[in-house]
Amino acid sequence: MEPRSGARCLPDGSRGPRASGSFGRRRFPAATRLPGQRPSAGWGAPGRRPAQEDRAGAAGRGAPTRLWEEASGGGPARHPHGVPPGPGPAAPAGPRRPPVPGETGPGRGPGSPAAARPRGAGLRGRRARAKPPAAAAATRQRNMSPVTSRRSRPRRPDPAARTAHAPPPAPHWPPLPRLRRPFRTVPLPRRLYGGAAMLRPPRRFPRQPRRAAATATGPGRRLLLSTPIFYANGPPHIGHLYSALLADALHRHRGLRAAGPGRLSTGTDEHGLKIQQAAAAAGTSPPELCQRVSGLFRQALSQAAVSFTDFTRTSEPRHQRAVRHFWGALRDGGALYKGSYEGWYCTPEECFLPESQLAERRDAQGRPCKVSLESGHQVHWTKEENYMFRLSAFRDPLQKWLRDNPRAISPDPFYQRVLRWLEEDLPDLSVSRERSRLQWGIPVPSDSTQTIYVWVDALVNYLSVVGYPETHGEWWPAAHHVVGKDILKFHAVYWPALLMAAGLAPPERIFVHSHWTVRGQKMSKSLGNVIDPFACIGQYTVDGFRYFLLRQGVPERDCDYYDEKVVKVVNSELADALGGLLNRSTALSINPSNTYPCFSESCFPKILDYRETKAVGRASAEDYEFVASVASLPLQVASYFEGFQIYKALECVALCVRQTNSFFQRHRPWKLNQQDPAEKLWLDTIIHVTLECLRVYGTLLQPVIPHTADKLLSRLAVEPEERGLSSLTFLPRYNGKPCPFEGRQLGPDTGILFHRLEKSRQHQIETEKL
């Protein structure tokens, strides 16, 4: 599935969404320009034909012509940046849940404006002021504006520099074009532009984004982890839950590392046409619909043990206030202008689509219509006057940001995808809708005829949650966003550009995941194959379902969901392998004292090279090998979490669990004579090693299966303060160090660790038929 598009204009020069307006001098009276600004158009980069597969990139192509007006819509020249006082940042509100250790609580391309403008239109006066060509060329060299500085594609630096445990590099952002300064006129290369002059961003660069304490690296630093905020137009499905579980597992793992204060934010995206229409279709009002659906998401996340500290609803006053302030920052920075454009709007995707992303179909009445190729939803021709965001000015800053921060987007294929987008056309972005069309949203400050585009509104949740515009500096930009691939462009292109334009740094990292399909098909309401997370949790238990999604979900590629697979994975790895191991190693028949038995160094002596040395104790070369792999597991798991490969971390744990079962089986402890002191030493050592392994697995699995891990660790009598990663020393006695667990009474036996799952009813019916 390819990325959805943001609202933008023209397609590839054909009949797609397109801008209209005028660039001629007559249409831009001086009174309507930005203070100190000359009429201008088209200082974006020379565009290339957009890739067909990129919906978001193609949208908006062929930028709008601009009706130069005061960005505040003709209202007061400056918006008072201090917005009306509202409630401060809300106290973290989360569900009741077990504490998480360490957590503290809550262009000029085809169709661009310049191309759309008749050659020479609106240039009178500019030419007269133009520098002589030599001076202009020198200026151009210094300036490196988007027009002249198309760089070759940034390469990822040496992968060796991206080691899993290296502290994340401090975010780096480029200087921004100072948009409010009057543009200087420079002649363009005659060969390319027929000698026409165009306006370029000025040489001086504006405010640097504020660096805050939050950017400090090292232990103890703060981190905001986020899930996307979910559309409140329908109930949650397992795709939503997957996004949230990934973020939750990262948050919990970070808590185990005691890495510093952390927050996990989530919430609901409540504005926009989609919600407005869904409410109308349901015969209710948008606020009522949102209240109900937002409650469902909160409930689903809580039930799935997502340990969120903050839940933002975009309809909340504190969020709306932050959005208005953010808008003011964009406008005051000169990043907005008013333009009119038209195109095919896809409401379910909340964006304009270019012709290349559309297909011809027939509607329910048999009339021909156009639909989105990706989602199959019908699109409608929309023509309106909007505020535009100068996205085209941010190609260089965005490329530099990515070049300087090669870990900013993971996994790597998505990083590469974003770099490719940045080589394509990057038209300006429509960031408002006419209020007559869209009432359910935040009005543009000082222009009540416009509503702020739902994506700008939604993205600001990552700031409003940390107290923007007052206290966000304590957290921002130490933010890691988990997002699905369909919303990558919004997060990796639009959001960083918007932030830069508002004087803030881009988020530190964006973790991207692919989608769940159902028996090979895209999940959709119309196909009736949407998987309900409540039902899954009921059927497979919270931990069973969490384990399945995180164990089987591979961020780089789509994964297929079917019930039998859940049953198979969960039964074999949680119930049989892990549960069985605990059951066997704590059986009273082999451990009548129900204590953590002692390790015997004579049975399992430390050997530097077990392949070379002849065994002197009772452990075999295979045992040494297995113990070595369990010893390296915590670091391996940490490195996979760091690289957003949680499924690989779980694969390693599952492999070690299997090896432990083999170790136990190989030595048949139940056959050893407990009355014989030598045999008893070896028996205790086998149990000790097995319990040590289980302690490691229980500790490492806490971020994924918190309830089961808690049960396991409680059975092993591991105290809450002993469950962090810093105190995870595996088999200390083997290394000649004391083991605090030896001789400790085990915790109460609370029964089977994980009950085997029943096959789903559907599966039973299908099997019976055979």
Residue ranges that bind ligand MSP, judged by CB under 6 A: 228-231, 239-240, 242-243, 269, 458-459, 461, 483-484, 486-487, 515-516, 523
- Number of Cβ atoms within 10 Å of the Cβ of 283: 8
Q: Compare residues 350 and 423 and give the one whose CB is closer to ligand MSP.
A: 350
Comparing C-alpha atoms, which of 178, 181, 179, 156 is closest to residue 169? 156
Q: Compare residues 173 and 231 and give the one whose CB is closer to ligand MSP.
A: 231
Query: Can you tell me the distance from the alpha carbon of 237 to that of 323, in angstroms, rounded to the nearest whole number?
Result: 28
Q: Compare residues 193 and 561 and give the one whose CB is closer to ligand MSP.
A: 561
CB of 568 to ligand MSP, least distance (A): 20
Cβ neighbours for 565, distance < 8 A, ≥ 6 positions apart = 548, 552
Which residues face 451 on adjacent strands? 433, 443
Instruction: With beta carbons less than 8 A apart as the criterion, state whether 260 and 223 touch.
Output: yes
Q: Compare residues 226 and 600 and give the one whose CB is closer to ligand MSP.
A: 226
Q: Compare residues 235 and 469 and give the one whose CB is closer to ligand MSP.
A: 235
Instruction: With beta carbons less than 8 A apart as the criterion, state whether 233 and 275 touch.
Output: yes
CB of 472 to ligand MSP, least distance (A): 16
CB of 223 to ligand MSP, least distance (A): 18
Instruction: With beta carbons less than 8 A apart as the criterion, state whether 68 and 220 touch.
Output: no
Catalogue the long-range contacts made by 619-628 (C-beta closer than 8 Å, 24 or more residues apart): 620/666, 622/663, 622/666, 623/663, 623/666, 623/689, 626/656, 626/659, 626/660, 626/662, 626/663, 627/689, 627/731, 627/734
CB of 619 to ligand MSP, least distance (A): 45
Amino acid at 611: R
Amino acid at 41: A
Q: What's the CA angle centered on 433, arms 432 and 438, to 5 degrees?
A: 135
Instruction: With beta carbons less than 8 A apart as the criterion, state whether 563 and 536 touch.
Output: no
Q: Compare residues 311 and 682 and give the one whose CB is closer to ligand MSP.
A: 311
Which string of b and e fits 724-750 if b means at least 16 CB within 10 Å? bbeeeebbebbeeeebebeeeebbeee
Bridge-based pairing state of the strands 521-522 and 516-518: antiparallel
Q: Compare residues 459 and 696 and give the one whose CB is closer to ligand MSP.
A: 459
Q: Compare residues 100 and 487 and give the one whose CB is closer to ligand MSP.
A: 487
Q: What are phi and psi of 187, to 5 degrees?
A: -70, 145
CA–CA distance from 644 to each of 164, 281, 409, 443, 521 (Å)? 10, 39, 10, 38, 25
Which residues face 341 on adjacent strands? 19, 384
CB of 454 to ligand MSP, least distance (A): 8
Comparing C-alpha atoms, which of 452, 440, 308 is closest to residue 7? 452
From the number of C-beta atoms within 10 Å of its C-beta (0-12, 13-18, 19+), residue 364 rates as exposed
Angle between helices 677-701 and 621-631 (to 10 degrees): 30
CB of 228 to ligand MSP, least distance (A): 4
Q: Compare residues 40 and 243 and give the one whose CB is closer to ligand MSP.
A: 243
CB of 544 to ligand MSP, least distance (A): 19
CB of 561 to ligand MSP, least distance (A): 9
DSSP single-letter state for residue 2:
P
Which residues face 264 on adjacent strands? 225
CB of 161 to ligand MSP, least distance (A): 29
CB of 714 to ligand MSP, least distance (A): 33
Q: Compare residues 487 and 638 and give the one whose CB is closer to ligand MSP.
A: 487
CB of 646 to ligand MSP, least distance (A): 14
Cβ neighbours for 284, distance < 8 A, ≥ 6 positions apart = none
Query: Can you tell me the distance from the alpha carbon of 100 to that of 591, in angstroms, rounded to the nearest whole number?
Result: 32
Query: Can you tell me the distance from the alpha carbon of 537 to that of 555, in angstroms, rounded to the nearest whole number?
Result: 22
Q: Compare residues 43 and 490 and give the one whose CB is closer to ligand MSP.
A: 490
Q: Compare residues 459 and 757 and give the one whose CB is closer to ligand MSP.
A: 459
CB of 483 to ligand MSP, least distance (A): 5
CB of 509 to ligand MSP, least distance (A): 15
Instruction: With beta carbons less than 8 A apart as the criterion, state whether 280 and 324 touch.
Output: no
Amino acid at 154: P
Give residue number: closest CB to ligand MSP.
484
- Number of Cβ atoms within 10 Å of the Cβ of 641: 22
Q: Compare residues 68 and 511 and give the one whose CB is closer to ligand MSP.
A: 511
Query: Can you tell me the distance from the alpha carbon of 243 to that of 236, in angstroms, rounded to the nearest whole number?
Result: 11
**316: its two tokens:** 């909340």
End-to-end CA distance of the chain: 35
CB of 669 to ligand MSP, least distance (A): 44
Q: Compare residues 345 and 516 and give the one whose CB is closer to ligand MSP.
A: 516
CB of 206 to ligand MSP, least distance (A): 26
Q: Compare residues 561 and 697 and give the one whose CB is closer to ligand MSP.
A: 561
